Structure 1
Amino acid sequence: MRDDALAPAAVPPLTGGLADSVFETADRSPTLPVLARRTDAAPGVWEEVTAVELRDDVVDLAKGLIASGISPGHRVALMARTRYEWTVFAHALWTVGAEVVPIHPASSRDQVEWILRDAGCVAVVVDDEQGIMTVGTVCAGLPRLKHVWQLDADASARLAEQGAVIPLTTVESLRRIVLPDSTAAIAYTSGTSGRPLGCALSHRGLAYPCDVLLAGWGHTAAPPGEQPSVLAFLPFSHVYGLMIQVLCLRGGVLMAHEPEMTAEALASALRTFRPTYLYGVPSVFEKLYKTFLRTAQQAGRGALFERAAQTARDFAEAEERRRLGTGPGPGFDLRLQHALYERTVYRRLRGALGGRAVRGTSGGSSLSRELSLFYEGIGLYIHDGYGLTETCGGITMQPLGREKSGTVGRALPGTEVQVADDGEILVRGPSVFQGYVADEARTRAALYGGWLATGDIGQLDSEGYLTITGRKKDVIITSSGKSVAPAPLEQRLRMHPLVHQAVVVGDDRPCVGALITLDPEFLAHWRAGLALQGESPGREAREENALREEIARAVASANSAVSRAESIRVYRILPEPFAPDNGLLTPSMKLRRDAIARHYAAEIDAMYEARSRAVRRPGTEETADWDESDNVFR
């Protein structure tokens, strides 16, 4: 059991609800820019919203909600992209004591129906006509649902007009009766297996980790003397995005909204908004790395980039040993090389991210140590964070000056983390959720004596640093009884530029296998760089052989980190990626392993059958050792 004091544990106690921060900031610093959004006239220009402007928008909308019959305790779903109106609606709902139910706008009809019914929502906010159509197909079976508001049809302005007759004193009266332990949000788990569960999160629970992080680490989010700024692009429907929103508004961090999740929109937003702090999921930071590599190769500087990247990792690793007291730090030659690449490479890479970012956080799943070291080496420390929907977001952080890549840091002040005998991570603290909506049995199973059983497996080292090794339910047990955690293998596979996604399989099979999808952009670049000569049929065969060799190298690299019994022996390259649209990824970009296994059941069977025939000894039904990996393309 650990309770590591990484920062001052004494943060100002919460006395009301999350909406109070909007009003308090407006009173204290009315002209402080708190939000930013793209303008319609010029996509590269950002319109800033001051604290007093945000407060006035929240008040006007809160009046409209009251006039529409929204009362304390009512639940309203926000099924919209990451946009300014999402933030205003959330804080207006919290102002009147209502509860926010975030839903990803790309959720299927069945998912939307389940969440609206399970949460008992009385209203839902959608982006556009598509959202109207989705809700329209299910609302007949939802007698509690009274309102559907469409943002693109000026729902905010219409509600504000409707609420003009409501006095300000009514709004203030409702805001002041919101208690810290009132429920602020019903956030649904990602639903990687089975139906998602609604987690009741209190105002206190959502505020606590944000306040602790601001108290201990807020000064590191920007260069000295500058206002910290964050580009919000991950969905607010996920607790990670929700936590970032709360943290920014409670800490005076300028937050920009980028509703488009495309690579082009993100790249443009980073260049023009120029955030001082980055956050994302591992796939975002992996994609950025591959984009750096592809751009360098297209300019004929691929070898230079790879040398610079290795120097960055070596430099960061030496710096880590120095700060942890296990080494002297970078030697003269390494410092000289690093200084050279700083002038020729690293500065340009940071420029592609806006040029002002100093640190960042990766969450949602594990970030590889190699990638963390790369970013630290180029002057942008990206640390891996840990948290769950049930913990209102982050519960660990890297101690300043003692950061250790490859771990998720140590428990936040006031939070306790321990690892059970079977490797499961247990958490206790102020941010642990209130329970699952209408599911006391699951709540009792998750909470025991105040401890939350996270379902994750990991390790605590002697200094209290936590390392996540996977999900308890995801552990694969082969037919020989070998237990394998798939996450580390998948993580290493994705480090190869051609690999987009990977899911490891092998339950009740003779060996571990993998399903792999390719990165379409890097694949096109790779094909263009082959420059294979000859007639088309021959060229295609040589190209396929070259691709097999590249993926075989990726598999060999992944296998180098595990024992022979845990290594990948069979794999398939799939023709299409896993995506939320095909039901194989959650909206927060996590693998739906059960759905993937069902969807590709025939391919998985064929993969193992082909390998079984290949290793079966002539004249007998016995099989040889599954020693060599088998590169099988679908």
Structure 2
Amino acid sequence: MSFRNLGELFRERSQAFAHLNRWRTRRNGEWITCTNAEHQRHVYQLMAGFQQLGLQKGDRVGIMSNTSVDWVESDWALVCSGAVPVSIYPSLMADTVAFIAQDADLKFLLIENREQYDKLQKVRSQLEHIERVIIFDGRDLPSDDPWILSLTSLRRMATSDATAQEVFATNCAQQIEPEDLATIVYTSGTTGNPKGAMLAHRALLGELTAIRTTMAMQAGDDDVLFLPAAHIFGRLQHMCGVDNGLNTAIIESIKQVLEDVQAIKPTFFFSVPRMYEKIFSTAQARAEASPIRKRIFAWALAIARQMSRYKGQKAAVPAAFKLKYALADRLVFKKVRALLGGNIRYAITGGAPLDIEILEFFNGAGVLLLEGWGLTETSAAVTANRPDDYRLGTVGKVFPGNEIKIADDGEVLVRGNLILSGYYNNPQKTNEALIDGWFHTGDIGKIDADGFLSIVDRKKDLLITASGKNIAPQAVEAAFKNSPYISQCAVFGDRRPYLVALFTLDMEAVTAWANREHVPVDANLHKHPKLVAAIEHEVQTINPTLPSFEQIKAYEILPEDFTIENDLLTPTLKIRRRQIYERFAKSFEQLYKR
């Protein structure tokens, strides 16, 4: 099965699964459904509306919204038109949105609601090149702004009938070449502004083909989409649903996920590690309710891990152990599976590493949890554990059509049909990342004798939280160093649910403050209640200027500054991140226990 572009894939696969449900979602508390045939008509109607609006092949169009049916259908309409959707997190600050809009030279911008419209107003003078802003939720539209248009109005602009719309969509697909851009996804760099990773139709088709041929999905299977569609993981999941004939439950509220999953009973569950960590911690918390439950859970946890190892080694399970497992299953594991609906064939985790103990717990409890690895620049996963070929603690084997190798310094390099075409408007970063056809991932890894890849470290400073958010720590640190009282800031949060930080004091400014406040300047100054309150005020002032996922949730004030002499600053006065993490490991751990 081969397609030249995503427009062809969408047409052929939508028709192949026409009678099957494509998605379901809640509206006013009730589930509504849509077949693949209806979904295709919705997309083609939007394409016709965009045509009337003046959309041309190659135009860049932003989408700034939480995950929704409107996001998914708009994405397909743009891709199938030969346009280039540019995904933008709705949580980004206005100035970052303006940078992306200008850098990508957006022609149109789709947004979710009035809240996003109000954000744009803050930087509207920088967005004059955007011809129209299309809003998904048109219930609260300003009546006097010709710049905006509701998505419903855009659909109504499609004056042609369904047959003509299908002919138009077919003609569009015929004009799209495999190397044409399918999307630009902006990713956080370690410094400065985000970079726009250009992904061709070739790359996304390669990803979909790899999933189709290795992950054992069947038409009519059920999955759940709640990840941000602005993230490459969520983006590929919704496209994978069309390609494999899945019935996708689109859940627009993260708070609703576990409740809805128990009703939906999905076959597959795709998530970043944070969701599995929450399920695991919920089970642990329930066990803490009584000493007996706590002992039962600890015992069941050991049983799960042992069973996981039997499975991994494909070893025979002793009869006596089977009896113990049956009891643990009745007391604990069955309840864990029920949290995910009780019908999971396997679950996928990606976007950030997941602790091996949690992987073993789920696998031993009867939820096959498979870890994959990739980046935006590799069109999401480039390696993955398969249902029939996995090794816990690794991120699996490379997908067909791609290669990985380990450079002399341990960095993982990738070559193949999944890698980006380059960074938009950024030849310098493109040349740094793509050398002789190999993409330099910035991750340190190793490959075992059977071809399983393990990621063991991060070469660059970029943090990836447990929820899969890419964060450049220097930008966060710089924001807090703007405080007159803070000399240095070291942010921590890789593989964690949120960011924490260590602050050092600018003694000149703090001494002046202390004299004004009649606070003694001594060895315990960093603990003085008045100073602690002053730093807390700084944090409460600075945090709202950052996206929610970049805000500091806990911190510690250190009595000593980072210096060249104590080996915590480089000669060029940059913080030595690894040394700080190692020296203050206990402090960072304590911050997550507060």
TM-score range relative to shorter protein: 0.7 to 0.9
Match of residue 474 from structure 1: 461
Aligned counterpart for 2:229 among listed residues 232, 236, 252: 236
Corresponding position: 1:603 with 2:557: yes
The structural deviation recorded for 1:254 is: 1.4
Asked whether the 8 Å contact 1:22–1:54 carries over to 2, the reply is: no
Match of residue 303 from structure 2: 311
Superposed, 1:316-465 pairs within 5 Å as 316-321=308-313, 323=314, 328-465=315-452
Question: Aligned partners of 1:202 and 1:581: how far apart in 2?
Answer: 36
Asked whether the 8 Å contact 1:358–1:379 carries over to 2, the reply is: no
DSSP-derived class of the 2:22 partner: strand
Deviations 1:44-87 (A, max 9, x none): x4322101100110111111111111111111111011100111
The verdict on how the C-alpha distance between 1:580 and 1:311 changes in structure 2, with shifts beyond 3 A counting, is farther
Asked whether the 8 Å contact 1:97–1:175 carries over to 2, the reply is: yes
Question: Aligned partners of 1:349 and 1:210: how far apart in 2?
Answer: 30
Question: Aligned partners of 1:64 and 1:215: how far apart in 2?
Answer: 35
Question: Aligned partners of 1:66 and 1:294: how far apart in 2?
Answer: 54
Match of residue 190 from structure 1: 188
The verdict on how the C-alpha distance between 1:310 and 1:79 changes in structure 2, with shifts beyond 3 A counting, is same
Aligned counterpart for 2:253 among listed residues 231, 254, 260: 260
Aligned counterpart for 2:87 among listed residues 88, 95, 102: 102
The verdict on how the C-alpha distance between 1:126 and 1:335 changes in structure 2, with shifts beyond 3 A counting, is same
Match of residue 570 from structure 1: none
Question: Aligned partners of 1:514 and 1:153: how far apart in 2?
Answer: 40
TM superposition score normalised by structure 1: 0.73
Superposed, 1:156-175 pairs within 5 Å as 156-165=151-160, 167-168=164-165, 169-175=167-173
Aligned counterpart for 1:13 among listed residues 2, 21, 27: 2
Asked whether the 8 Å contact 2:346–2:387 carries over to 1, the reply is: no
Asked whether the 8 Å contact 1:211–1:247 carries over to 2, the reply is: no
Deviations 1:483-517 (A, max 9, x none): xxx99xx99xx9xxxxxx9x9xxxxxxxxx99689
Match of residue 123 from structure 2: 138
Match of residue 49 from structure 1: 34
Asked whether the 8 Å contact 2:3–2:9 carries over to 1, the reply is: no
Match of residue 63 from structure 1: 48
Aligned counterpart for 2:23 among listed residues 15, 20, 35: 35
The verdict on how the C-alpha distance between 1:628 and 1:425 changes in structure 2, with shifts beyond 3 A counting, is closer
Question: Aligned partners of 2:257 and 2:560: how far apart in 1?
Answer: 39
Asked whether the 8 Å contact 1:78–1:101 carries over to 2, the reply is: yes
Question: Aligned partners of 1:170 and 1:74: how far apart in 2?
Answer: 17
Question: Aligned partners of 1:344 and 1:194: how far apart in 2?
Answer: 52
Question: Aligned partners of 1:580 and 1:254: how far apart in 2?
Answer: 40
DSSP-derived class of the 2:220 partner: coil
The verdict on how the C-alpha distance between 1:626 and 1:370 changes in structure 2, with shifts beyond 3 A counting, is closer
Q: What's the RMSD between the two structures over aligned residues? A: 3.6
Paired letter, 2:351: G
Aligned counterpart for 1:282 among listed residues 269, 273, 280: 273
Match of residue 118 from structure 1: 103
Asked whether the 8 Å contact 1:207–1:247 carries over to 2, the reply is: no
Match of residue 527 from structure 2: none
The verdict on how the C-alpha distance between 1:201 and 1:32 changes in structure 2, with shifts beyond 3 A counting, is same
Corresponding position: 1:76 with 2:61: yes
Superposed, 1:492-531 pairs within 5 Å as none
DSSP-derived class of the 1:218 partner: coil
Question: Aligned partners of 2:296 and 2:244: how far apart in 1?
Answer: 41
Asked whether the 8 Å contact 2:443–2:458 carries over to 1, the reply is: yes
The structural deviation recorded for 1:580 is: 9.4
Q: Structure 2: where are the runs of 5+ without partners? A: 140-149, 474-489, 499-535, 567-581
Asked whether the 8 Å contact 1:188–1:199 carries over to 2, the reply is: yes
The structural deviation recorded for 1:193 is: 4.0
Question: Aligned partners of 2:330 and 2:172: how far apart in 1?
Answer: 56
DSSP-derived class of the 2:377 partner: helix
Using the aligned pairs only, state the percent identity.
Answer: 26
Q: Structure 1: where are the runs of 5+ without partners? A: 1-11, 476-485, 495-500, 504-512, 521-572, 587-591, 613-624
The structural deviation recorded for 1:317 is: 1.4
The structural deviation recorded for 1:369 is: 1.2
Asked whether the 8 Å contact 1:22–1:51 carries over to 2, the reply is: no
Superposed, 1:580-619 pairs within 5 Å as 583=546, 603-604=557-558, 606=560
Asked whether the 8 Å contact 1:276–1:359 carries over to 2, the reply is: yes
Asked whether the 8 Å contact 1:76–1:123 carries over to 2, the reply is: yes
DSSP-derived class of the 1:132 partner: helix
The structural deviation recorded for 1:331 is: 2.7
Deviations 1:213-272 (A, max 9, x none): 2122224xx7xxx7222111110111111111111111111112112123xx11112112
Runs of at least 4 residues of structure 1 off by over 4 A? 513-520, 579-582, 604-609, 625-634
The structural deviation recorded for 1:172 is: 3.1
Deviations 1:152-180 (A, max 9, x none): 10723211111214842434322321222
Deviations 1:401-454 (A, max 9, x none): 441100001111111000101010000010111100001111111111110000
Question: Aligned partners of 1:55 and 1:69: how far apart in 2?
Answer: 21
Question: Aligned partners of 1:361 and 1:191: how far apart in 2?
Answer: 26
Paired letter, 1:406: G
DSSP-derived class of the 1:34 partner: strand
Paired letter, 2:302: Q
Question: Aligned partners of 1:19 and 1:156: how far apart in 2?
Answer: 21
Residue correspondences, number? 504
Paired letter, 1:316: S
Question: Aligned partners of 1:99 and 1:346: how far apart in 2?
Answer: 45
Paired letter, 1:111: T
Paired letter, 2:153: R
Question: Aligned partners of 2:44 and 2:257: how far apart in 1?
Answer: 31
DSSP-derived class of the 1:163 partner: coil
Paired letter, 1:236: A
